Structure 1
């Protein structure tokens, strides 16, 4: 689940961006990947302590409920249910539409992108509502499929001895250079490519023997993601060379497909990219369907008592809320793209940075619990939280330096939903 959500389409087109920030230095590129992984690897290592200490449902909502208080948990739960999950689903569904258009050479207009994305969104909602197992099986299959090209490029590169291809004559050659500390600018966008791992926590109560399984998943999942990313990055730079990638940009992905798979390589690679994105859509929907039910069970979201008596009806009610919220954000996304309303790229970016402010508070809580001897493992209780806070701050500061106005706008929207969640809990438990 963690691998399936974190590994989306972005990594396929991230290599040239990383090299531009590092001046073409492969060593600095590797360092960027490793530091960028701090927020997920050490964050997940820290949270294994909390996961092992709670039997509650709702993922991170349960952590705030058990280790802070229910009002904060309700606010965070509303943020995840009404903003973070649905905006990610909306945007990634749209991106799926874009890659489908590229794969089948359809008209590349916003209306076509939105229409195809809507078909995917409706399909995966239907699949996951009608059957818990089909959505889970697709998640496993899509996770395996998306790893094939990423690991494959790294493995082929190990045996690759041909010279790097020449830069096309009509493209100016970009040479490697010394960027000083300019490479630090790559840390924020790289850290964003690791985002999404907390989503897997929302289904922890449905995992067999979750007390043992989830801590292992939180450790192994992020490490697998890092290994996959490094394999692809090192493979690309070895086969194509830094100067070629710097010069042609995203066109390097097309070239690697052509070199390894022939003339049809670009289409084959686009197919893998599409499966990667659809895996993210399915995974986030799979998790989001459970969130309204978890909040209603905790009296953080209003629900009629008659609906809670029938488990099947209760689940359908939760799914309906999830669907309606997501569709609403999908419509909002359409208009923001059509009229260029948002100061940032898309609606999903509204919630990402705000989420890390919450994650950082959890890491600090783990550190305090270690100091109070409630947690006894030094690495996961002391060292990992400190490094996780560092990784989280990189994302928050990176988001602010990239778009200060956009971040303030995002925080205003997130804060409104967060405080609405707190108000809802107070009203329901007055």
Structure 2
């Protein structure tokens, strides 16, 4: 079944790959997280440091994955990496988690949020939130069901559009802000905001998440051994500049206590103040386009994990999900199966809560990947298989591991029930693997 991999179209060059990294990370977090990060940090100095610290931890993680990705050009991302490093069972469980649980929940939560904002912006009935979410998810699914140059182009367009308000907010804050961005403290931190610098960093790490999605489509990247490391590293650097820049602009434009009071409405209030009612509306439209771009990144990425697993025979109905549409050269059955799961989550569950629950196992598999850097270095001490060798080895993967362990400890302390649910869902994949592997061995 491995021949199907060769039928994929390598339609993602450096620009589209860069847009995928930037566009998938930057969703709505930068527009809505300013208040909560500042409230947790307690001062603008600490909040700025939190955004920088979260960015550096993410960069260390991205560079670690870039080194591994430069050695493997097969579609599937961490499913492939973990399988090659630790064996099939661990690779399967990593893929299972993304296909059954995390991927659909992320698609569903982004689409659901789009539906809420869309209805609110145009003053429509609340009853249209779910239909709007399903339409958004289906629309992006259609774009991904035609040749991937269209999804690549859509990613470039939406990423460009979402960068415009970010640049505008940064410029306005730096040149027209009336306050000192640094040195402000929050007078009264509410109970929900307590937790200090560590909680603020945790909030930024969630805003930075999404960079790993590019690794899932290696089979559709032109010259992936060189393009993937560049796109991940430069993409994360662009996001760090954007996040830190917007934070500085917001803190320069509004008093710290006002930012905390405004909460999720901070950037909308700032945009309306800076550019009038029309400016506020344009920012809302840009956020909607930003969400579509993030959704596109997820739909480009997660179904490729399903396709890769099916291509190896390691998923129920593998023959169907490993098929590629010969016109578009995209794995349409895998795409629409995961969209259907996302729609079911929108209708019957709270996908936002499910994606939060999945954070623990997601970062658990990240840790395995980061440890894998050391294992691959031992297997190939001369670097004959590496097209990219990270600087500052071994400190960067150590930093990535420490950051991920911090996320895991925080999840256990704050959401133990969610942690246990996520472990249980991943564990359900084990009997599925046993059945599938027995079937493969009997052939």
CA shift, 1:258, in A, is: 1.4
Whole-angstrom distance in 2 between the partners of 1:87 and 1:77? 14
1:421/1:196 Cα in 2 relative to 1: closer, same or farther (>3 Å)? farther
Given the alignment of the two structures, is residue 242 of structure 1 paired with residue 256 of structure 2, yes or no? yes
Q: TM-score, normalised by structure 2?
A: 0.85
* Residue of structure 1 in register with 2:27 after alignment: 8
Question: 121, 127, 132: which one pairs with 1:116?
Answer: 132
Higher alpha-carbon deviation: 133-142 or 77-86: 77-86
CA shift, 1:94, in A, is: 1.0
Whole-angstrom distance in 2 between the partners of 1:125 and 1:2? 19
CA shift, 1:129, in A, is: 0.6
* Residue of structure 2 in register with 1:17 after alignment: 36
* Residue of structure 2 in register with 1:188 after alignment: 202
Whether the aligned pair in 2 keeps the contact of 1:3 and 1:225 (CA below 8 Å) is: yes
* Residue of structure 2 in register with 1:347 after alignment: 354
Given the alignment of the two structures, is residue 328 of structure 1 paired with residue 346 of structure 2, yes or no? no
Higher alpha-carbon deviation: 324-333 or 51-60: 324-333
CA shift, 1:13, in A, is: 0.9
* Residue of structure 2 in register with 1:141 after alignment: 157
Deviations 1:344-401 (A, max 9, x none): x522223222111011011112124445663665735411110000111122122222
Whole-angstrom distance in 2 between the partners of 1:27 and 1:422? 52
Q: Which runs of 5+ in 2 are unaligned?
A: 1-19, 384-388
1:158/1:422 Cα in 2 relative to 1: closer, same or farther (>3 Å)? farther
* Residue of structure 1 in register with 2:124 after alignment: 106
Whole-angstrom distance in 1 between the partners of 2:228 and 2:400? 18
* Residue of structure 2 in register with 1:35 after alignment: 53
Deviations 1:173-213 (A, max 9, x none): 96267x99722222222211111111111112211111111
1:391/1:418 Cα in 2 relative to 1: closer, same or farther (>3 Å)? farther
Whether the aligned pair in 1 keeps the contact of 2:25 and 2:210 (CA below 8 Å) is: yes
Deviations 1:76-118 (A, max 9, x none): 22222222211111111111111111211112x3x42111000
Whole-angstrom distance in 1 between the partners of 2:212 and 2:101? 14
Given the alignment of the two structures, is residue 152 of structure 1 paired with residue 171 of structure 2, yes or no? no
CA shift, 1:290, in A, is: 2.5
Whole-angstrom distance in 1 between the partners of 2:29 and 2:234? 21
1:422/1:57 Cα in 2 relative to 1: closer, same or farther (>3 Å)? farther
CA shift, 1:4, in A, is: 0.6
Whole-angstrom distance in 1 between the partners of 2:419 and 2:49? 26
CA shift, 1:310, in A, is: 7.4
Whole-angstrom distance in 2 between the partners of 1:314 and 1:161? 49
Whole-angstrom distance in 2 between the partners of 1:14 and 1:64? 32
Q: TM-score, normalised by structure 1?
A: 0.87
